[in-house]
Amino acid sequence: MILYNLLRILLYFIISILAIFNKKLLKFFKSRLFQKIGNDNFLNDNEEAILIHFSSVGEFNLTQELIEKILKDSNRKLILSVMTDTGFSIVNKKYSENGNVKIIYFPLDDFFTVHKIYQKYKIEKTIIIETEIWPNLYYFASSNGELLIVNGRLTEKKLKSYLKFGWLIRKTLNRATKIMVQSTSDKERYEKIGIDKHKIKVYKNLKYSIKYNRITEEEIKKYNETVIDKNKKVIVCGSTRPNEEKIWLEVFKQINVDNEYQLVLVPRHLERIGEIENIILENFSKDEYSLITQIEKDNKNKDYKKIILVDKIGILTDFYQIADFVFVGGTLVDIGGHSILEPLYYGKKPIIGKYFQNIEEIVKDAKELGFIEIVKDKHEIIEYLRKSENVDTREFLKK
Task: Render pLDDT for 316-337 as a digit per residue (tens, 0 to 9).
Answer: 999 999 999 999 999 999 999 9
For position 235, what pLDDT does the model report? Answer: 98
Residue percentage of the chain with pLDDT more than 90: 76
For position 41, what pLDDT does the model report? Answer: 85
Kind of pairing between the strands at 289-291 and 307-309: parallel
Kind of pairing between the strands at 123-129 and 289-291: unpaired
Is the per-residue pLDDT at 211 higher than 80?
no
How far is it, in rounded angstroms, from Cα 307 to Cα 291? 9
| 168 and 256, same domain (yes or no) | no
**Average pLDDT value for the chain:** 92
To the nearest 10°, report the CA torsion of 31, 36, 41, 46: 100
pLDDT level of residue 395 (50, 70, 90 thresholds): low
Range 139-167 average pLDDT: 94
| 249 and 200, same domain (yes or no) | no
Range 303-310 average pLDDT: 95
For position 212, what pLDDT does the model report? Answer: 81
Whether residue 301 is contained in a domain is answered as yes
Whether residue 13 is contained in a domain is answered as no
CB count in 10 Å sphere of residue 39: 8
Which DSSP state fits 256? T
For position 144, what pLDDT does the model report? Answer: 96
| 225 and 200, same domain (yes or no) | no
| 385 and 266, same domain (yes or no) | yes
Contacts of 396 (CB under 8 A, 6+ apart): 344, 345, 365, 366, 369, 371
**Whether 130 contacts 203, CB under 8 Å:** no
209, 233, 253: which is the final residue of a domain? Answer: 209
| 172 and 229, same domain (yes or no) | no
* For helices 166-173 and 156-163, angle between their N-to-C axes, nearest 10 degrees: 110
The total of structural domains in the chain comes to: 2
Q: For the purposes of burial, counting CB atoms within 10 Å of the CB of 137, is it exposed (0-12), middle (13-18) or buried (19 or more)? A: buried
For position 397, what pLDDT does the model report? Answer: 66
- Which residues carry out catalysis? 59
For position 76, what pLDDT does the model report? Answer: 86
| 53 and 183, same domain (yes or no) | yes
Q: What tens digit of pLDDT does each residue of 264-306 get?
A: 999 999 999 999 999 999 999 999 999 999 998 886 656 899 9
pLDDT level of residue 251 (50, 70, 90 thresholds): very high
| 283 and 359, same domain (yes or no) | yes
Domain with residue 280: its CATH number is: 3.40.50.2000
Half-sphere exposure of 351 (CA within 13 A, CB side): 27
| 200 and 223, same domain (yes or no) | no
How far is it, in rounded angstroms, from Cα 350 to Cα 327? 6
Q: Edge-to-edge strands of the sheet including 178-181? A: 101-105, 77-82, 49-54, 123-129, 146-152, 178-181, 200-202
- Boundaries of domain holding 144: 47-209
The amino acid present at 196, given as its one-letter code, is D
C-alpha pair distances (Å), 61 with each of 86, 253, 317, 395: 13, 34, 12, 20
Which DSSP state fits 357? G
For position 390, what pLDDT does the model report? Answer: 66
| 369 and 279, same domain (yes or no) | yes
Is the per-residue pLDDT at 34 higher than 70?
yes
| 202 and 242, same domain (yes or no) | no
For position 40, what pLDDT does the model report? Answer: 81
How far is it, in rounded angstroms, from Cα 284 to Cα 293? 19
Is the per-residue pLDDT at 234 higher than 60?
yes
For position 207, what pLDDT does the model report? Answer: 74
CB count in 10 Å sphere of residue 368: 10
How far is it, in rounded angstroms, from Cα 203 to Cα 183? 7
Decide: pTM greater than 0.75.
yes
| 55 and 121, same domain (yes or no) | yes
| 168 and 317, same domain (yes or no) | no
